[in-house]
Amino acid sequence: MLSVPNFLKRVRGSGNRSLLLLMPLLLLFACRSRDAAIEELQNSRDAAAIAETEDWPATFGFGKAATASQIALLDTDVRPDGRGLPVGSGDVVTGRKLYAAKCAACHGATGTEGPFDKLVTAAGARGNNGKTIGTYWPYATTLYDYINRAMPFNAPGSLTPDEVYSLTAYLLHANNILPADAVMTAQSLPQVQMPAKERFITDDRKGGAEVR
């Protein structure tokens, strides 16, 4: 639609008045037919979906009710507001020892070396610096969730809540986000403000002509 005024200018410049008079009509017709086509498509899809389920029973009755204990076994996720964090606590000193024993082999002695993901922003580093926790992680709760579910790589899911809290405290301290005496708990962890949070935006690509 943005190109229409330019197009009209070109038509006017050419002196072709009959076409100019016809333009609004043509445009109206083009727009209406396109909208109608979209609406028709939409309706046909809706209609198909409705037709598909209208003969269905309210419930098929397949499967069983999930019990609370069944759900609790699996439901370990932790959300940015702290929901899902277990009882426990951890400190930087304990976390540093755990890191050396269980994490340093993959992430480097100080978290800056690798060979696998760099976790700590090196002194004087610029930019994303390998997407470290300090430069690229928007939520501190994600650290707890991920370490708990998938680390260490050779023994995933083997850490206690206190150990995960301690590692989280140490890694946040190593990235200059927490002081050395910080203690992480279900209450304190969601309060941690991450430097990268303000950088995150939701996908703004929409299809159509624009490249984003």
Segment near other proteins (CB under 8 A), from 10-18, 28-36, 52-60, 182-190?
52-60
Task: Give the total of residues touching other proteins (CB under 8 A).
Answer: 49
- Alpha-carbon distance of 52 to 50, in angstroms, equals 5
Among 6, 18, 53, 193, binds other proteins (CB under 8 A): 53
Segment near other proteins (CB under 8 A), from 2-10, 85-93, 167-175, 198-206?
198-206
Contact indicator for 180, 173 with CB cutoff of 8 Å = yes
Residue whose tokens read 């929409």: 206
Segment near other proteins (CB under 8 A), from 6-14, 56-64, 98-106, 169-177?
56-64
Q: Tell me whether residue 173 is exposed, middle or buried, using C-beta atoms within 10 angstroms of its C-beta: 0 to 12, 13 to 18, 19 or more.
A: buried
Which residues are 91's β-sheet partners?
A: 183
- Alpha-carbon distance of 189 to 159, in angstroms, equals 17
| Consecutive H or E run containing 25 | helix 17-53
Which residues inside 124-163 make contact with other proteins, applying CB under 8 A? 127-128, 131, 133, 136-139, 141-142, 145-146, 149-150, 153, 156-157
- Alpha-carbon distance of 185 to 162, in angstroms, equals 9
The residues of the shown chain that bind other proteins, judged by CB under 8 A, are 52-53, 56, 59-60, 62-66, 70-71, 74-77, 79-81, 127-128, 131, 133, 136-139, 141-142, 145-146, 149-150, 153, 156-157, 196, 199-205, 207-209, 211-212
